[in-house]
Amino acid sequence: MKRSVNVAHCSCCSVALITAARCIPNLEDNDDVKAIYVGSVEDWSTRKATKIHARVFEDLIQRMPSLASLVLKEPLMTAVRDAHSPFLKCESIKLLSALYKHDGTNADELLSKKASSSTKECCSKVAETLQYALGDSSLQKPKHRDEVLIATKHFVNYLQAQEEGILTDAEIRAFQETLKTVKRNCKSTGMKQMCKAVYDKISVLARREIAEDPTPKRSKDSKAPKSSKKQKKSKK
């Protein structure tokens, strides 16, 4: 893929890689396959002379969603922050949101148990990444901000479809504050309406309860025992 001459050639290499990967036992636990895709995302997002195209990752998401969920989330979140151009940042955001896109069907049925669990566990990091993108100064043009808001909407739809709360109350409030700021800075009526729609959806999300620390805490009123080493006062 790193030597492909055009998009069509790169796509053929991508499909060949997926076909070969299907033959690997315990594929989801294979570190070599993961390394190939992690390295490909890094090459695609950071090298200006890269021969890799986004089609490689789109193919994986469409053909092997469980593997895509396990190997692409982390490198794509890095690419949202570190890609060398606003265009590639937006492409990274679109690919990341595709892993969470919920179209009204039970998307979890398409994922393995491991992939489904990983997708939920990464939600806090994805929320932070989308908040970063909403405030990124390089993504303030309307076409870029639209992409980020659309990706955010897909992510929130995924959260809404879950039976239990995924984000904590603090995380949800931070998300809402970011959307408020974006709405204030928007000049487009359409963008303001989209911000409000996403904000309203976030407002009704179930909250994840934070487990309390089972370690018993010592009361402030309790006094530390006196040291037995303390010398007694000598009698006069």
Distance set, CA 4 to CA 9, 47, 53, 143 (Å) = 6, 15, 9, 29
For residue range 41-50, list pLDDT tens digits in order: 999 999 988 8
Both tokens assigned to 32:
């070599």
Q: Taking residues 101-121, what's their average pLDDT?
A: 75
Backbone φ, ψ for residue 232 (5° rounding): -75, 145
Distance set, CA 222 to CA 72, 214, 218 (Å) = 51, 19, 7
Residue type, 160: Q
CB within 8 Å of 124: residues ≥ 6 apart: 167, 168, 171
For residue range 55-102, list pLDDT tens digits in order: 999 999 999 999 999 999 999 999 999 999 999 999 999 999 999 985
pTM: 0.82
Name the band, by pLDDT with cuts 50, 70 and 90, for residue 236.
very low
Give which of 64, 53, 51 is closest to 18, Cα–Cα.
64
Distance set, CA 11 to CA 8, 67, 138 (Å) = 5, 18, 29
Contact call for residues 175 and 131 (beta carbons, < 8 A): yes
Contact call for residues 64 and 72 (beta carbons, < 8 A): no
Looking at residue 214, its pLDDT comes to: 52
pLDDT at 207 over 90: no
Higher-pLDDT residue of 184 and 229 is 184
Name the band, by pLDDT with cuts 50, 70 and 90, for residue 104.
very low
Distance set, CA 210 to CA 86, 127, 159, 169, 206 (Å) = 36, 17, 17, 9, 13
Separation between Cα atoms, residue 131 and residue 91, nearest integer Å? 16
CB within 8 Å of 223: residues ≥ 6 apart: none
Name the band, by pLDDT with cuts 50, 70 and 90, for residue 132.
very high
Going 71 to 50 to 79 to 8, the CA torsion angle's sign is: negative
Mean pLDDT of the chain: 85
